[in-house]
Amino acid sequence: MSLIELMVALMVGAIVLSILVLVFANGLTTQRRATERNAATAMLNATTASITESVRASVDTRVTESGQRLDAKVLAPDGVTWECRAWQIQSGQLRYSSGASARPAASGSWKSLGSGLSGNLASGAAFVRAGTQVSLGFTLTRGESTIRVTDGAVSLAVQSGGPSCW
């Protein structure tokens, strides 16, 4: 084997190796994006399922004019216990609070359900109420992934009483 043949073999080997490295790096990037997207989708699905379940169990709901906050007066499954629940998007954070009385303005003491969120309904609203029906829509951006989810529910509980939740 001559020196020229050896150099050609090394160059071909280097080209093949660089192609393999590019394919592997592309696979890792795709894997990271898919994991990012799946985690964001799972978080959004769990959040919307929780909100729609609360709306279905509520006797009344209220959405602010901006569509960034939803309040619900919920009767617990025991048929006796009342709870005021509220969700609000504030500075890209979806926050949640619940208790026996009206929920105050959203603050850092509210539980954070996710960040990087915005409303994707009309005029950027996250919540829209029409009669007893509440529609919700979120856009979540994580890294290079943008996920949009819309859902809705109707208040099904029919009972009077309970605290004033707003």
pLDDT digits (tens, 9 = 90+) for 101-155: 999 999 889 999 989 999 999 999 999 999 999 999 999 988 888 999 999 999 9
| CA angle, residues 99, 58, 77, in degrees to nearest 5 | 75
The pTM of the whole model exceeds 0.85: no
Burial of 54 (0-12, 13-18, 19+ CB in 10 A): buried
DSSP string, 85-121: EEEEEETTEEEEEEESS---S--TTSEEEEESEEE-S
